[in-house]
Every structure is written in C-alpha cells, then in structure tokens.
C-alpha cells in the first residue's frame, strides 16, 4: 500500500498552527509501517537551500476552467519521510500560506485548486493507493479523484471545521467545476462554494482529530452550520486523537532549552524558569508561572482570559502570553501589561520562545471555546507543565481533572466546569493552591511527563482506515 499525505503546511517548512505539527508527526510515525510520501506547496518563503530541496525532472500542466498552470516538483527528506513540493507561481508566490495582514489572499480558491488538482495527478504518477487529505486546502482533490481516479481510496481529515474554504459562486467556473456540484448535497453552502463540503462529501472516510470533537461537530453549537451535512455523512466519520512528535518535543534533548530535563531531573525545569524570569524581567522564581501560547482568537478563549486578567494579576503568580491575531485583543493585553510587573506579553510567532515557555511554566492556560484536538496541552504534559483547560473536544480526551477519579485519561490538569471569566479565576486559584502542595504537584507533574502523547496509538486507527477495514 502506498500513501500520499497532503497538507498546506508541514513543519519545519511552513507552520501557522497545529496542522503543520501533525502533518510532520503523523507521517514520521507512519513511515515506520507503510510506504508514504508527503506533499505540500513550495511557497516562495521556504528556504530551498537550508532545507536541501532538489528539483525533480517532472513538470506538467494542469487546467482549471479556461486557464492552464505550469507545475514543477521538488523533493526533500523530513525526518525519514520523502516529501514532495509542488511549485506553481500563483500558489507559491506569497509571504505566508494563506494571507497577509490585510486578510486571506483573494486567489486562495485558485491557489488551493491548483494544489488539490495536482494531488490527483501525483496520485496517478506515483501509483498511490490511498490519498490522505488534510483540511479545506486539499479538499477539492476528493471531488476530482472521484471524477478522474475513482479507484483511489481517499481519506479527509478535518483539523478545524471553523475554516471551511468558502468562496463566491463564480469560483466554480474559475475552477472548472460543473454546475451539478452546486447543490446542498454537494459543495453549495448558503449560496457560496465550500471546499470543506467537497472533502466531506466525496471522500471515502472522514476523520477529525479527537473522538469528542467528532461527536460535537454533529451539534449546532460546534457544527459551524455543517452539522446537518455531517450527520448525513456520519457513517464514515471517525475521531482519532492527535499526538505530537515526541522526538522534537522532548525536554531531555530540545535544543531550544538552556537546561535539559526529564521527569527524574526536574531541578533543571526550575533552572529554565529562573533564566526565563531573568531574561524577561519577571520576579520571584518561587511564584508559579502561567502561560498562554496561541492564536489571539475567540476560539482559544483569549477574550475571556482578558476579562479575567484584572483579578488574575492580583494573585501570587506571573503570567506570560505569546501569540498574535486579533488586534483588539492585542491592544487589551498591551494596556493590561502596562500596570503590572507580573505580566509578560510577547507578540508574534516564535517557535524557540514557545519551547522555552513550555519548559519554564508551571501551568498552561487553555480555556478554548472549542478545540478539535489542541496540541499545546499535549506539549505541556510532556514538559511537566500542568494544563488548565476547558472541557471540550480534544482537551476532554487528553486531560482529566486532578480530582476526577472516575475517568482513566493519562494526562491530568485543572478542568473548568464551564467557561466564564469567573471559572477561569476560580480554576487559577485552585491551581495555585495545588502548586503549594509541592509533593502532590510534583507527583502529578511527573506522571504527566510519562504519558504517551505520541502518534503511536492513533496510527493503528489510521492504518485500519487506509486498509478499509473499519
């Protein structure tokens, strides 16, 4: 069996969020068991020399509507996984995968149409048996595969239903898609064209990244308007929990950390915290550090953290936030940081700093409104940092409350009973009391570090799907 695994971003070449981590870590685990090729676009911002990418002697044309596009191929190795890179000027001429500070690129329909159609051509060229698509950027490939390569087994993974790839109706013509697809059963969504619907409708199996999220998206609260459509396709919907790459995310070897540590050597975690405090002017390393790392969006509950901040900042703790996104949230954080020396805010995307923060912190605050899986809490478990989470999606499947005796999830943390600024304040109070109980805190932290947060277990479920025996 030969698998083609396709994503718009793969670590370390391009990363805007968890999709990139997963598109690296899952193939790196699968490659031990099956013949796999990964594929992503060769965006202009990717450094072809640093990553040792070589041109292949393959180029071809693809047609979308009336237009013809010239595609060429490159290749490289990513942690043992042969990775193909698709170059086409419209797709790749960009400074970030999906947009710039003014918003998403207007040509994203064509850009990812080119990528998606190319995936079907590559499937034929490389004798692929299973095409694994990820998120809307690849979803039209499911539709074209049904037309052009009906024998190809197609799996589509939804990493976040909130991003659907919606475009105006005229995109249909520009992409050369026939009108008969534009129905509620097909890719029409309230008068627009939905790439996400193509992935769901025309794939042989649909997965999402945690068992709980796979049930939640069948409900109006989490279904983003697609709950009815997903119910129709629920017979082929599976929830498989994400993992992380436990080689890249390993505090014993992580090159970003000044001091390496493991569950048996936690003193160095404290040393990392002392150095972090010194570098960023935070005081009193005995005070617990709570971090938030992520996109500034309502999804991540940052607006509710902002409401809770005045109270949180009066408590005996330091708070550090790293991320970017919504301007109003960034402004609110900036003004909160002016009057408090126990609050650090860093704007932007910084992989190395994020690793140092996971390692320095005692707690990760992650009160997401919805969370398909979430990787931050998995990274935190591995780095001995206790997650404080809302009880949704993948957070429900990977973290149980320290006082919950009824469940048997490996990861332990503080779980909010519902989401509000008051419950965040209450949970942080609980966390600080728990921190003061040094013996129990250290026992649970160490147990968390031993949890299996890798992809090893989930790969078994993917292999079953690839082999069609579910």
Which residue number, 113 or 374, has a Cβ lying nearer to ligand ADP? 374
Q: Is 413 in the site for ligand ADP (CB under 6 A)?
A: no
Q: CA torsion, points 155, 158, 159, 162, in degrees to nearest 10?
A: 160
Binding segment for ligand ADP among 37-45, 347-355, 428-436, 444-452 (CB under 6 A)?
347-355
Q: In the Cβ-directed half-sphere of 202, how many Cα atoms lie within 13 Å?
A: 27
Say if residues 80 and 28 touch (Cβ distance below 8 Å). Answer: yes
The answer, yes or no, to whether the previous bond of 12 is cis (omega within 30 of 0) is: yes
DSSP string, 99-155: EETTEE-TTHHHHHHHHHHHHHHHHHHTT-SEEEEESHHHHHHHHHHHHH-TTSEEE
Report d(CA 349, CA 240) in Å as an integer.
28
Residue 243 found at the interface with ligand ADP (CB under 6 A): no
Whichever of 21 and 216 has its CB closer to ligand ADP, that residue is 21
How far apart CA 241 and CA 121 sit, in angstroms, is 30
Report in angstroms how near the CB of residue 157 gets to ligand ADP at its nearest: 13
322 is a contact residue toward ligand ADP (CB under 6 A): yes
369 contributes a contact to ligand ADP by CB under 6 A:
no
Please identify which residue in 18, 165, 251, 384 interacts with ligand ADP, judged by CB under 6 A: 18
DSSP 10: -
**Which stretch, 13-21, 30-38, 60-68, 425-433, contacts ligand ADP (CB under 6 A)?**
13-21
* Per-residue binding letters, 285-304, with ligand ADP (x by CB under 6 A): --------xxx---------
Given 349, 420, 430, 461, the residue binding ligand ADP (CB under 6 A): 349
Burial class (CB in 10 A: 0-12, 13-18, 19+), 222: buried
Residue 19 or 53: the one with the smaller Cβ distance to ligand ADP is 19
Answer yes or no whether residue 391 interacts with ligand ADP by CB under 6 A. no
Least distance (Å) between residue 324 CB and ligand ADP: 6
The interface region with ligand ADP, picked from 101-109, 180-188, 370-378, 384-392 by CB under 6 A, is: 370-378
| Residue 346 Cβ vs ligand ADP, minimum distance, rounded to whole Å | 8
> If 0-12 CB within 10 Å is exposed, 13-18 middle and 19+ buried, where does residue 301 land?
buried
Q: Which residues bind ligand ADP (CB under 6 A)?
A: 17-19, 21, 293-295, 322-324, 349-351, 354, 374-376, 379
């Amino acid at each position: 069996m030969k698998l083609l695994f396709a994503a718009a971003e793969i670590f370390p070449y391009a990363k805007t969020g968890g999709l990139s981590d997963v598109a690296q870590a899952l193939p790196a685990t699968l490659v031990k068991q099956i013949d796999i090729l990964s594929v992503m676009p060769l965006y202009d911002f990717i450094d072809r020399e640093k990553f040792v990418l070589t041109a292949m002697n393959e180029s071809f044309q693809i047609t979308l509507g009336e237009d013809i596009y010239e595609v060429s191929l490159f290749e490289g190795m990513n942690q043992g996984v042969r990775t193909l890179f698709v170059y086409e000027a419209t797709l790749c001429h960009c400074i970030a995968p999906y947009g710039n500070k003014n918003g998403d690129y207007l040509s994203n329909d064509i850009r990812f149409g080119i990528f998606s159609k190319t995936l079907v051509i590559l499937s034929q060229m490389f004798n692929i048996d299973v095409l694994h698509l990820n998120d809307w950027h690849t979803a039209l490939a499911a539709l074209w595969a049904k037309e052009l390569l009906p024998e190809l087994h197609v799996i589509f993974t939804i990493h976040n239903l909130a991003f659907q790839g919606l475009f105006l109706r005229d995109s249909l013509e520009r992409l050369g898609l026939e009108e008969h697809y534009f129905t509620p059963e097909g890719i029409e969504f309230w008068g627009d064209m939905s790439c996400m619907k193509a992935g769901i409708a025309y794939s042989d199996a649909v997965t999402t990244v945690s068992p709980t999220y796979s049930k939640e998206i069948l409900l109006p609260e989490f279904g983003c308007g697609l709950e009815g459509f997903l119910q129709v396709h629920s017979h082929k919907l599976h929830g498989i929990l994400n993992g992380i790459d436990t080689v890249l995310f390993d505090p014993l070897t992580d090159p970003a950390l000044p001091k390496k540590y493991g569950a048996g050597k936690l003193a160095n975690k404290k040393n990392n915290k002392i150095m972090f405090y010194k570098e960023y002017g935070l005081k009193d390393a005995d005070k617990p550090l709570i971090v938030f790392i992520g996109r500034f969006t309502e999804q991540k509950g940052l607006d509710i953290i902002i409401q809770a901040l005045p109270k949180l900042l009066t408590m005996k703790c330091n708070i550090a936030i790293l991320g970017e996104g919504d301007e109003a949230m960034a402004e609110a954080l900036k003004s909160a940081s002016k009057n408090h020396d126990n609050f650090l805010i860093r704007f932007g995307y910084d992989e190395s700093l994020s690793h140092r923060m996971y390692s320095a912190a005692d707690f990760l605050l992650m009160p997401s409104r919805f969370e398909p899986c979430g990787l931050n809490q998995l990274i935190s478990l591995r780095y001995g940092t206790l997650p404080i989470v809302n009880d949704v999606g993948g957070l429900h499947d990977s973290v149980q409350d320290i006082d919950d005796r009824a469940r048997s999830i490996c990861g332990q943390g503080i779980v909010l009973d519902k989401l509000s600024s008051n419950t965040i304040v209450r949970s942080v109070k609980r966390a600080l009391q728990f921190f003061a109980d040094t013996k129990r805190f250290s026992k649970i932290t160490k147990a968390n570090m031993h949890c299996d947060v890798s992809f090893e277990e989930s790969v078994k479920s993917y292999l079953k799907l690839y082999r069609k025996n579910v």
